[in-house]
Amino acid sequence: MDELRRLYARMGIEKEIYEYGEAVLKRLVPRFQEIDETAEYNQLKVVGAMQECQVSEACLLGTTGYGYNDLGRDRLEEVYAHVFRTEDALVRPQITCGTHALALALMSNLRPGDELLSPVGKPYDTLEEVIGIRPSRGSLAEYGISYRQVELLPDGGFDYEGIRNAINEKTRLVTIQRSKGYQTRPTLSVERIGELISFVKSVKPDVICMVDNCYGEFVEIQEPGEVGADMVVGSLIKNPGGGLAPIGGYIAGKKECVENAAYRLTSPGLGKEVGASLGVLKDFYQGLFLAPSVTAAALKGALFAANLYEPLGYAVVPDARESRHDIIQAITFGSPEGVIAFCQGIQAAAPVDSHVTPEPWDMPGYDAPVIMAAGAFVAGSSIELSADGPIKPPYAVYFQGGLTWQHAKLGILSSLQSVVGRGLADREALRRISGL
């Protein structure tokens, strides 16, 4: 469509970049179809849950103050329990982020003297302080909860022998991170998580298995609660908030685990009974309703990015062909300039703050300057188109999100335009591949 091409050109995407993108997209038709089928399944799952729980107009209103008898909040938690196939759920705006949800799940279900085990290597950065791997005020370590970790095998497999040896009489909770986060290990499929949980329970049946589900929701048709997870935990400003939730986290799981979390979030004796939903319920419901298709849009973006950059000689994880279990795409540029150009290109395509130019800066908690691109409606939301990269070898960027596929596509083309515009990519290769 010439009109479309002209509009891309007016928005700064040269013909050469656009044509290359179209050539890449032609090959992705069957993969996009698979993603759409998953979204269709999950859309039915979500709508079905809302219908079974009889979500009504009154559920969309909120409460203030103590929040007693908050019909919409309680019903939403039932809907989450249905969607994640668990006994119960805690879904609250008072859970401020993913780290908070995970910390809450851990702190409420562990007691002094217990031990926590990660059988999948190092957990997400922010959990290091929650656990006390890096000494930190208020950590689990300060409360006398010890921690062990078993690395994945070099091929990404589980070290079953190591895990068996690490489980002891103190082991109370096992934490399994589904997404690779900002590491280069593969993301775990729900099926593999199920195998790991079965193994752990065969060694010690009463261990609580928790899955950090961040970035994994609705990427597959199954969720970890269906393969034996006792708690499934995540952030509402990632996949399940569908881009609309302005804050929040969830813990879905066994009734006892969820109640423990509720008594810790509010207070012993109060639990789930308090916690006003204020005005967020409509966005929580509508965001969950949109989440399957928003996740599909983000997945298409990640797949497109991998297939756009890999032929140009950049290492991409996951690679262009492998199956996907989360929405994160890593692209290695090998130079600070590449990382910066990519992030600036993503920012330039944002609906909000497209006119600002991100620069690397020394963020607290990181050991190298980091550049972040985010022009989001919800601050820091990473289900919206966003990217960040630490300015240190191997000079990789981590890219995720996109509320619509069309916007993800624009953002990725804009990133390539920025990289090519600075002479950092091979224009000849690009022409050759698109047959120009």
Ligand X SMILES: *Cc1c(COP(=O)(O)O)cnc(C)c1O
Name the residues that contact ligand X, by CB under 6 A.
97-99, 124, 126, 177, 179, 181, 212, 214-215, 235
Nearer to ligand X, 42 or 179 (CB): 179
State the nearest-atom distance from the C-beta of 53 to ligand X, in Å. 26
Nearer to ligand X, 214 or 374 (CB): 214
State the nearest-atom distance from the C-beta of 214 to ligand X, in Å. 3
Main-chain dihedrals φ then ψ at residue 28, nearest 5 degrees: -95, 0
Enumerate the H helices of 254-356 as residue ranges: 255-265, 281-309, 336-348
Nearer to ligand X, 247 or 403 (CB): 247
- For residues 366 and 347, is the Cβ–Cβ distance under 8 A? no
CA distances from 261 to 95, 228, 265, 321, 422 (A): 11, 19, 6, 40, 50
Torsion angle, CA of 16/385/124/100, rounded to 10 degrees? 180
Run of H or E including 197: helix 190-203
Closest residue to bound ligand X by CB = 98
State the nearest-atom distance from the C-beta of 347 to ligand X, in Å. 19
Nearer to ligand X, 24 or 211 (CB): 211
Please tell me whether the peptide bond between 205 and the residue prior to it is cis, using omega within 30 degrees of 0: no
State the nearest-atom distance from the C-beta of 105 to ligand X, in Å. 11
Please tell me whether the peptide bond between 318 and the residue prior to it is cis, using omega within 30 degrees of 0: yes
Nearer to ligand X, 97 or 373 (CB): 97
Q: How far apart are CA 197 and CA 345, in angstroms?
A: 41
State the nearest-atom distance from the C-beta of 163 to ligand X, in Å. 20
User: Could you give the maximum distance between any two Cα atoms of the chain, in Å?
Assistant: 70
State the nearest-atom distance from the C-beta of 175 to ligand X, in Å. 10
Nearer to ligand X, 114 or 326 (CB): 326
